[in-house]
Amino acid sequence: MKICISSGKGGVGKTTLVVNLAYCLADKGKKVLMVDGDLGLANVDVMLGITAQKTISDVMDRGADPFDALIQLTENLSVLPASSGAPDMVSLGPEEQNLLGQYLDGMVGKFDIMLADTAAGIGPSVRWFNQFVDHNMVVATPDPTSLTDSYALMKVLKQEHDIRGFHLVLNLVKSREQGEKTFATLADAAKKFLDLHLQYLGPVLEDEAVPLAIRNQKPLVLTSPSSPASLTIKELGEKLLSW
């Protein structure tokens, strides 16, 4: 199963969600491949305090073996890192897209779940990941600018790539109720103007343990497993397992 996480707007919690969901799913016994699909401004490695020897860009540009670039974090969890400051990678041309697809398809068979982080915006690499995967996750926050950007992202993905199924996560919510209300607003607009039926995967609560975990470069679900954000991310993981 291949999943990618996008948002339109940056800074809404995509990388946090990918990293922590990956640990949750691996903890449930799934073999998880985390892909840093933010090809130009990677930060999965930064969030985990690891150093990549080889990255997706070495694989694509220099024909390195994709399996050599994998970093095994735990028995069940590996990450395919990207490089930061690789602007070329952001606007993948058709040939590079094919190549990346071949590399990833060659790897995903060894895993139960591929979770790909993606860049901000609605550029070529974001669109490519969204049409490559089986499930499209979109992260937004109750901030109006995040909601309009996630709406714009879904609009482009539907109109230009015929993608119609979106699983929404609302991050940085102060309560479950705020998450539900915000989802209802977004889902109404998507239904009315885009004829899209959004699925609500659930909320991730705002939690001061999140920035702390990032500063310590350790996954939140390991360092603060019972903090509000960890508990809500674990619930999302449980739902994912039922897909």
Q: How many residues bind ligand ADP (CB under 6 A)?
A: 17
Q: Which of 6, 7, 130, 230 binds ligand ADP (CB under 6 A)?
A: 7
Residue 220 near ligand ADP by CB under 6 A: no
Residue 83 near ligand ADP by CB under 6 A: no
Q: Which of 2, 8, 13, 45 binds ligand ADP (CB under 6 A)?
A: 13
Q: How many residues bind Mg ion (CB under 5 A)?
A: 2
Cα 142 to Cα 23, 65, 184: the distances in Å are: 26, 42, 11
Give me the residue label for tokens 């903890």. Answer: 27
Residue 101 near ligand ADP by CB under 6 A: no
Reported as half-sphere exposure (CB side, CA atoms, 13 A), residue 146 has a value of 21
Pure H helices in 36-143: 44-48, 56-62, 66-69, 87-90, 94-108, 124-132
Q: Kindly indicate which of the ranges 79-87, 180-188, 206-214, 234-242 contains the residues binding ligand ADP, using the contact rule CB under 6 A.
A: 206-214
Site string for ligand ADP, 163-192 (x = CB under 6 A): --------xx--------------------
Euclidean distance between CA atoms 135 and 104, whole angstroms? 15
Residue 49 near ligand ADP by CB under 6 A: no
CB 203 within 8 A of CB 169: yes
SS3 61: helix
Euclidean distance between CA atoms 196 and 28, whole angstroms? 32
Q: Kindly indicate which of the ranges 83-91, 97-105, 130-138, 203-211 contains the residues binding ligand ADP, using the contact rule CB under 6 A.
A: 203-211
> Which residues sit at the interface with ligand ADP, rule CB under 6 A?
7, 10-16, 171-172, 204, 206-207, 210-211, 214, 229
> Which residues sit at the interface with Mg ion, rule CB under 5 A?
14-15
